[in-house]
Structure 1
Amino acid sequence: DILQQAVQALLQAYDWSMGGWGRAPRFPQPMVIEFLLQQATRGDQKALEAAVHVLDQMSRGGMYDVVGGGFHRYSTDDSWLVPHFEKMLYDNAQLALAYLHAYLLTGKVAFKQVCTETLDFIHREMTHPEGGFFSSLDADTEGQEGKYYIWLPAEIETALPDPASRELFAQVYPVTAQGNFEGHNILQRKGSLEELAGQLGLPEIELIERLESIHRQLYATREQRVRPATDDKVLVSWNSLALRAFAQAARYLRRDDYLAIARKNADFLLKTMYVDGRLLRAWRIGQARHSAFLEDHAGLALALLDLYQSDPDLRWYQAAGQLAGDLLEHFRDPQGGFFDTRSDQETLITRPKEIQDNATPSGSALAASALLLLSAYNDNGEWRALADYMLSSLQDLLVRHPTAFGFWLQGLDFAFGPVKQIAVVGPLSSAVTQAMLAAVWRTFRPRSIVAVSDQTVEPAGNFPELLLERGMIEAKPTAYVCQGFVCNLPAKTPEALQQQLETVS
C-alpha cells in the first residue's frame, strides 16, 4: 500500500504534457524515475507510462546533448529545451541507469542508445587516465553560457556537406536563422525517434543509424571550438554512482569495455582513496584529501556490490562488507540511523544527519540500501533490522513527499521484496555458466541479487553465505533460486533457471 500510495502521489503531480514534476527550472529526477520503473516490474502499467514518457521527452535534445551524449544539469523551461549547460557526473550516472532499465523493460532501442551515449561521454570526456571520474564540465566557454553546444544554420551546412544528410537533419531538427536561444539553435528533435521514423517512412533503427552518422560529423566540427573547462576533482560518492552505471551496463548489455572501465574505477577508488586505512572523499592531481562522509562509504559499498554481480571477484564483495563495518563503527547513531560524518572527524557542535535525497541520494538512504543488499547475501539479521528501522521511520514522509525521497523509495521496494537470491556455481569459462548468467540478466530485476562461484577455486575468507553448501550437481554448472536462503530445486540448465526466474513469486 505504501508503494502504491507513493506512485499515486507521483502520478497526480506528473506533467503528462511535457514530462516531469514541478515548474521550471525542471530537474530530471532520476531516482523517482527508477522507483517508477521498479513498480513497473510489479505490474504497474501507469508507473511505466510516466517513466517512459519523461525519459522520451528528456532525450529529444536540449537538456540532452544529442551530438556528444550526456545530460546538462537542468532545464530552465518546462519543455527541456534550454538547459543550464553544466554537465554533472552524478546526473549522467543516474540517468544512464534509468535509461538502461527502461530499455530492458520496453525494448526501446532509443533508450539503449541514450544509455550508451551517456556512458561513452563519461568515459571519453570525464575520466582520468588512472580510472577516476571527474566531477563536471562547465556551462560557459569564452564567457558565454552554452557557446560550445549551440549552432548557426551556416555551421550546420558546413559540417554536413552531403545534401541527403542535411535534408534528413532538417526533417528532424528545427534549425532557423532566428534560433531558439540568443540567436543560435539548441538542437532538439521535433518528436520521438519512433514518431519521426513513422513520419519519414523509415525503420527506427535505420533512422538512429543515419542520425548517429550526422551527429559524428557535427561532433567533429564542435571539437574545433574552445571546450568547456573540466572540474577534475574525483569524488568518491559521485564516482560510486558512475561505477554502478558502468557495472550494470556491462552485464545487462554484455559490454566487456564497460566492465573494464568499472574495474579500473573500483581499483582506483580502493587503492588511491584509502590513506592509512581510512577512506578519503576527494582526489585531485595525485592527492587524496578530506575524511569521507556517510554517502561516500555507503555509495561505494553499493557500487562494489553491483560490480561483484558483474565481475564475481571476491575482493569487491569483501570491500563492500568492510565499508559496511566502517558505517556501523564510525557513523552509527545510537538513537537509530547514521550520522553524515565520522565519529572521529573534526569536532562539530552537532553532527549532521541529512535524510532527504537531493540531486544525489542521501547518505542515510544509501546506507539503508547497502545494509539491505548485504544482509541478502550474508543473512545478517542486525543489519537488516537497522535498515528496516530506518525505512519504517520515514514511511509517512515517503508518501507525502515522494520526489524528495526517491532513493529511499527504491530501498523500500527492495525491503518489501520478495527478493530472489540467485547463486550460480560453475566455471566462468563454461558456456553453460555464461548462459545461466545471461538468463539472469535478460531483463531488469530490481529485487534480485546474484552470487557466483567458480567451482575450481575454493572460497576463502569473507564470502557470501548464499553460496554455502551449494555446489555443482554431477560436476556441471548449477543454479539455485532462493528466497530467505530457502532454495528451489537446483537448476541444471539455463532453460530450467529461466523457468524458475519467471515462476518463483
Structure 2
Amino acid sequence: MCSGTARNRLRKITLSALVLGIVLIAACDPPPKSSDPKATSSTDEPVSGNESEAQNMYELPPGAVAQSAALRQRLAVAAEGHDAKVAARALHKDSAGKPLYINRLALESSPYLLQHAHNPIDWFSWGDEAFARAKELDRPIFLSIGYSTCHWCHVMEEESFEDLEVARLLNERYVAIKVDREQRPDIDDVYMTAVQAMTGSGGWPMSIVLSPDKKPFFAATYLPPRGGVRGSRNGLIEILTQLEEAYHVDKRATLESADRIANHLALVTAPAEPDSMPGVELLHSAALRYIRMYDPVYGGVGSAPKFPQPSILRLLLRANAREANPDALQVVSETLRHMADGGIYDHVGGGFHRYSTDREWLVPHFEKMLYDNAQLVVAYLEAYQVSGDPALADVARDVLRYVEREMLAEEGVFFSATDADSEGEEGTFFLWDESQLDDLLEPAEALAVKTRFGVTAAGNFEGRNILHVVAPLDAVQSALSDAGQSGDAATLLQSARTKLYDARALRIWPGLDDKVLTSWNGLMLSAFARAAFVLNEPHYLDVATRAADQLLIVMTVDGKLQRSYWHDTAQIDAFLDDYAFLIAGLLDVYEASSQPKVLSQALALQETLDQQFWDDDHGAYFSTSNNHEVLLTRSKPSYDGAEPSGNAVAAMNLIRLAEFTSDFAYKEKAQALFATFDADLRARPTSSPALLCALDFAHADALEVVVVRAAGDDAKALIDVLRENFIPNAVFVLTDEADVAAHAKVAPLVDEKRALNGQSTVYVCQSGRCDAPTHDVATLRTQLQGHGLRLRD
C-alpha cells in the first residue's frame, strides 16, 4: 500500500527535536532483513566507442558530481536497451523529445528503479559505491524506498524528484539512494521499522536520512517538494536543508542520535528467548477478537481503509471447523461476498485491487498485486468447501482467468503487479461513463449493466463510475422486463462484459511490473494447485506444474535459489519468504499432482532453509540467510502484512512435511518456532493470523489420507469427498498403485498401502493408527466424521 500518512503531519524539524529523544517515540512491532549487496560499480574501466559523444548525450544532473566518461558511456548504452516506456516517463526532455538526464539506476534490472533512471537526481542503487561516496564526501544519505505500482510513489516522483531545486539540493549535499522494496525486502524491513519507531506509522514511499554508516536519524513517508504543497508546513527542501545543516553543525549530536536509533532497532528486533508452545486457548481468543472487529454492515475486519486480509478469514474458517462458531463463519462469508460485489473487484477484467479506501469496498486503490489475488483465491476456495456456494468458486475461477490472461509470462511464471495509474491519473483505465456503455452495448446489455452495477450519469467517483454490484440478478431481470427488453440477465451481463473488456483493452493500460518474484510466485502456485484439486480442473494443475518447473529453472543460479527474475536475469539470493512460499506451493502441487519429484524438490529447499536461516540459539527462522548482507538488524518475522509472515508459512510447511515424511524432527522444529513467538502471540495475537493458522494445525491431530488408485480407475468418487469438504489439518497423497513404491521413498506414509481387491482404496490415518481401508464413499464420509469433521451434505 502507498501511504501518505505523514504528509498532513509534517512539522518543522529542529536540531533539538532531531537530537533529543527521537528514539523515545513508541516503537512498532514489525521486523527487518538482510541480503547480498546489489552494487553497481562506476569505475573508470576502459570503454570502446566515442566517449565524447556519449558524454554529450545527456546533461549532468544539476549539482551532481561529475560522472566519468566510462560511466556515462555505460549509462548511454544501457538506455539504448531500455523499453521505450522508460524514456517516455522522463519529465525533462530536449527539443527532440529525449530525456535530458540519466543516472545510475539506468544500469539496474528493477522496473521500479528504471522508472527513476531519468530523474534529475543523481540516484545510486544500494551498494558499496554509494556508501563509499557518502564517506568520501562526508555527506548524509537520502534513502527513498518504494515500489513500481505505488500511487503515492508516483506522486512524490512527479512533485519532488522531478523538481530541479530538490534535485540540486540532493545532488550537492546528499548521496541519494533508491531501493525497490520488492527486490530488497531486507532493506525495506529494517528502515520501515525505523519509520514506525520514529513516526508512529509507516507506508510508502519511505523517506529516510542516514549517516554514512547506514544509521537513520530522520524518517517520513511521502514528502512534498516544499512547504505549502498539499497543506504542509515544510517539504523536502526545508527538511533536507535543516537536516544537512544539523549534520555538519552538530555532527556529534546527530550521529549520537543515529546511534541511539540503531540501538533501539537492534533492541526491538532482538531474538526473544523461547518460551513454551502457545496453547489452543490462544486460537479461541484471537477468533473472538476478530469477530468483535467485524463490520456487520459491509463486512471486513476493521474500518476504512479496508484490506482483504485473507489470513484472518482463513483463520476464522478454522475456528468454525474447530468449534462450530457461526459468528466466525458469518464474518468470512459476508466479507467475501461484499468484496466480490464491491469496487475493489474488477468486474470487467477480473482480479482484486489492492485495498478499499472506504468502508463500503467501493473506491479502491487500483493497483493489482499478485500476492493479494493468490491468497484470495485460496480463501474463496476454502469458503466454498465449507458452504458449497458456487458463487465463491466462481470468484476463484474468475481471478485465475485474469491471472492467466494478464499476469502469466511466456515462460509460465507470473508477473508481479499492475499499476494504479494510467494516462497520469489513478484508476482511469477502470472507470466508465454512462454514455460509453450506451455506445458500446446493445440496449438490453446496457440496461442490465447499469442496473446490476449502479451506473449513472453523475457517477460515483469523480464524475465517472466504478462498477460495483448493487442489484441481484432477479432485480436485473425485472428491470429488463419492465423496460420491454428480452433476454436472460446473466447471459446479457456476460456478453456485455466481453464487449467492455475488448473496448477497455484499447485504452492505455496501467503499467505492468513484469519482474518475477519467487515468493509471490510460490503463493500463486498454491492458488492454482489448490484450485486444481478443489475444483477438479486439470488445466489449473498444468499451469501450476509448469510454473513450478520453470521457477526452479530460472530462479536457480549456481545451485542457489534467487529472489528476482527480469529479462532473462535472476538475481539476489532468496530470502525466507522466497523459500517458505515456494516450498508451500510445491507441497500444494504435490498434493494435487501425485508427483513424488515435487515433494523431493520441496524437501531439498527445506534442507537449505534449515541450514541457512534457522536460529540454533533461539529458534525460528531469520528473514535472511547466513550469507546475506549484514544490515543494522537481522529479524525473525512473525507478524503478517499484506503477505503472511515467512515464519508462519514455514511453520505450516514443517508440520505438513512431518506428516508426509513421518520425520518427527520437522514437528519438533515447528514446536520450537512456536515457542520462540509465544510472547508475541500472546501480546498481539491479531497481528499474526497466518501463524495462528499453523498453530491450529499443530494442535490438531493431523489426518493423513492416502488414496491408492487401481489400474484404470481415477477414484473420482472417493477423491471428490476430499475436494468438496473443508479438511484443513490434513495431508493428502493421491497415487496410482503402480507408483506407490516411488511415493514411499519420499513419503513413507504411503508405504505398504495398496488398491485392495483391484479397487481404488482410501486410507484415513491419525496418530499412527489407520481406519479400515475402504472403497466406499459412505464409509469414507463416516470415517472422516468420526475424526471430528463436519462434512457437507
Q: For 2:782 and 2:550, locate their aligned partners in 1 and report how far apart those are by CA, in whole Å.
A: 39
Q: For 1:279 and 1:82, locate their aligned partners in 2 and report how far apart those are by CA, in whole Å.
A: 39
Secondary structure of the residue that 2:694 maps to in structure 1? helix
Secondary structure of the residue that 1:338 maps to in structure 2? coil
Where do 5+ consecutive residues of structure 1 fail to align? none
Contact 1:55 1:99 in 2 (8 A): yes
State the aligned residue count: 499
Q: For 2:449 and 2:534, locate their aligned partners in 1 and report how far apart those are by CA, in whole Å.
A: 32
Counterpart pick for 1:227 among 490, 509, 522: 509
Partner of residue 334, structure 2: 53
Q: For 1:76 and 1:387, locate their aligned partners in 2 and report how far apart those are by CA, in whole Å.
A: 37
Q: How does 1:413-432 map onto structure 2 within 5 Å?
A: 413-427=696-710, 429-431=712-714
Partner of residue 32, structure 1: 312
Contact 1:337 1:364 in 2 (8 A): yes
Partner of residue 103, structure 1: 384
Q: How does 1:366-385 map onto structure 2 within 5 Å?
A: 366-385=649-668
Secondary structure of the residue that 1:41 maps to in structure 2? helix
By how many angstroms is 1:486 displaced?
A: 1.5
Counterpart pick for 1:136 among 391, 413, 417: 417
Counterpart pick for 2:427 among 126, 142, 146: 146
By how many angstroms is 1:500 displaced?
A: 1.7
Secondary structure of the residue that 1:456 maps to in structure 2? helix
User: TM-score scaled to structure 1, two decimals?
Assistant: 0.94
Partner of residue 264, structure 1: 546
One-letter amino acid of the counterpart of residue 476, structure 1 = Q
Partner of residue 236, structure 1: 518
Partner of residue 763, structure 2: 480
Secondary structure of the residue that 2:606 maps to in structure 1? helix
Partner of residue 290, structure 2: 10
Secondary structure of the residue that 1:459 maps to in structure 2? helix
Q: Cα RMSD (Å) of the superposition?
A: 2.1
Counterpart pick for 1:23 among 303, 308, 312: 303
Identity of aligned residues (%): 38
Partner of residue 786, structure 2: 503
Q: Deviations over 1:335-394 (max 9, x none)?
A: 211111111223345422222111001111111111011011112222112212322443
One-letter amino acid of the counterpart of residue 299, structure 2 = G
1:311 matches 2:596: no
By how many angstroms is 1:195 displaced?
A: 7.9
1:320 matches 2:602: yes
Q: For 1:212 and 1:398, locate their aligned partners in 2 and report how far apart those are by CA, in whole Å.
A: 46
Where do 5+ consecutive residues of structure 2 fail to align? 1-280, 482-487, 789-793
- Give the stretch that moved more between structures: 350-359 or 280-289: 350-359
Partner of residue 370, structure 2: 89
Q: For 1:247 and 1:79, locate their aligned partners in 2 and report how far apart those are by CA, in whole Å.
A: 32
Q: Deviations over 1:250-274 (max 9, x none)?
A: 1111111111111111011112111
Secondary structure of the residue that 2:430 maps to in structure 1? coil
One-letter amino acid of the counterpart of residue 114, structure 1 = V
Partner of residue 339, structure 1: 622
1:282 matches 2:564: yes
Contact 1:6 1:398 in 2 (8 A): no
Q: Deviations over 1:59-111 (max 9, x none)?
A: 11311001110010011111111111000000011111111211222222221
User: TM-score scaled to structure 2, two decimals?
Assistant: 0.61
1:354 matches 2:637: yes
Q: For 1:133 and 1:293, locate their aligned partners in 2 and report how far apart those are by CA, in whole Å.
A: 18
Q: Deviations over 1:174-218 (max 9, x none)?
A: 212221111111111115x4785797799xxx6544432322221
Partner of residue 436, structure 1: 718
1:490 matches 2:770: no
Q: Deviations over 1:464-500 (max 9, x none)?
A: 1111222222343221100023111111333432332
Q: For 2:325 and 2:452, locate their aligned partners in 1 and report how far apart those are by CA, in whole Å.
A: 33
Q: Deviations over 1:118-150 (max 9, x none)?
A: 111011000101111000001111111111100
Partner of residue 321, structure 2: 41
Partner of residue 467, structure 1: 750
Contact 1:428 1:434 in 2 (8 A): no
By how many angstroms is 1:2 displaced?
A: 2.0
One-letter amino acid of the counterpart of residue 305, structure 1 = L
Larger Rg: 2
Secondary structure of the residue that 2:739 maps to in structure 1? coil
Counterpart pick for 1:177 among 457, 474, 477: 457
- Give the stretch that moved more between structures: 103-112 or 259-268: 103-112
The change in CA–CA distance for 1:411 and 1:40 in structure 2 (over 3 A counts) is same
1:365 matches 2:645: no
One-letter amino acid of the counterpart of residue 347, structure 1 = V
Contact 1:305 1:316 in 2 (8 A): yes
Q: For 2:725 and 2:426, locate their aligned partners in 1 and report how far apart those are by CA, in whole Å.
A: 40
Secondary structure of the residue that 1:452 maps to in structure 2? strand
The change in CA–CA distance for 1:354 and 1:494 in structure 2 (over 3 A counts) is same
